[in-house]
Each structure stands twice: as C-alpha cells, then as structure tokens.
Amino acid sequence: MEKEVILKTEGLVGFIDAFREVAKKSGIQKGDIVIFSGCPGSCFPTISNFALAIQDLGAIMYWVPDADLDEARKLEMVENVGLQAGEKEKPQRKAKLILLTPGLLAVDFDKIPKMLQEALKEDGKLVGETPIPNFFENVGWENKLSFDYIIELNPCAVEVFQFKR
C-alpha cells in the first residue's frame, strides 16, 4: 500500500492539530458519529485531547474501550471539568470516523475488524494515531486494516529542569 505524507507538524499540540485537520478532511459535521477506541487508562487522555479539538464540529463522540461496542460511552462535556465518558451508550448509527490507538494491541485482534464492520459507515474513515513511530506498520495492521489516515507523533525532546534554592 502506498503512503504519502500530507502534513508535518511538531509536538503534542501539532499531534492534536493534525487530528483536527484529518477530521475536517473527513468531512465531520454536526451530528456525525465519531468513535475513539483504545485501552482503558493510558489511551483515554490522548483521545480526550483529540475529542476536545473537534468538539466545535458538533459530532457525537464515543469512547469504545478495547474495541467492545457493548462498553461504548458517550463523551460529554462536564462544566469545570472537561470532557468525560458518560454512562454506557451504544451508538445508534454507524460512525463517519473511527480512531484506533496502539493500546488495542492488548486485545484480541479479531475484535477490531468486528467492531469496524459493525460501527463504521461504508464510506467512513479509519484513522490510526500513535506516539510510536511506525507502530501500525510494525505490528502488521497497515496490511490488515483499511486505514485512510495514520497520525504519528514522532518523539520530541523532553527536558526536566530542577530548581536549586
């Protein structure tokens, strides 16, 4: 499969902006369904940043832990807190965009195509996001799943400063 770099940006802010650009290119509009799926815990903070980046587009967004639609939760804005996963609620329609995180490596792979078949519109977009360079290629998912986009955060320098008093 041929890949083309369509956007280059830097850092975590660039990572989030890149997702917003992909969502806009995917034609996300008010009332469209967007599903984020990954492992509980470490993946949720990343997807909540992505969801915040597109909240103004008016999509109805869901968190689907471990590619299990029976565990889907609608993402809701909570005043003075931010975006939170609400009560269990399975999407009533298929999604225009589904984003997969590398945390799904922890689940049986067969759950992923099953979820996609059940939840992604025929013309919907499949997006992978990863902070691990070449993750989807290295685990073989690029050849097993029909990604429309992969958003990859390349490692950035980290600095820690200690203040001496």
Whether 59 and 74 have beta carbons less than 8 Å apart is answered as no
Query: Which CATH architecture best describes the domain 29-152?
Result: 3-Layer(aba) Sandwich (3.40)
Question: How far apart (Å, rounded) are the C-alpha atoms in residues 88 and 72?
Answer: 6
Tell whether the model's pLDDT for residue 87 goes beyond 70: yes
82 torsion bin: left (phi>0), alpha (psi -120 to 50), beta (else): left
Domain boundaries, the chain: 29-152
Question: How far apart (Å, rounded) are the C-alpha atoms in residues 31 and 1?
Answer: 32
Distances (CA, A) of 157 to 11, 12, 133, 142, 154: 9, 11, 15, 27, 10
pLDDT in tens, 49-81: 999 999 999 999 999 999 999 999 999 989 998
Question: How far apart (Å, rounded) are the C-alpha atoms in residues 85 and 78?
Answer: 10
Provide the pLDDT for residue 114: 98
pTM: 0.89
Count of alpha carbons within 13 Å of 102, Cβ hemisphere only?
A: 17
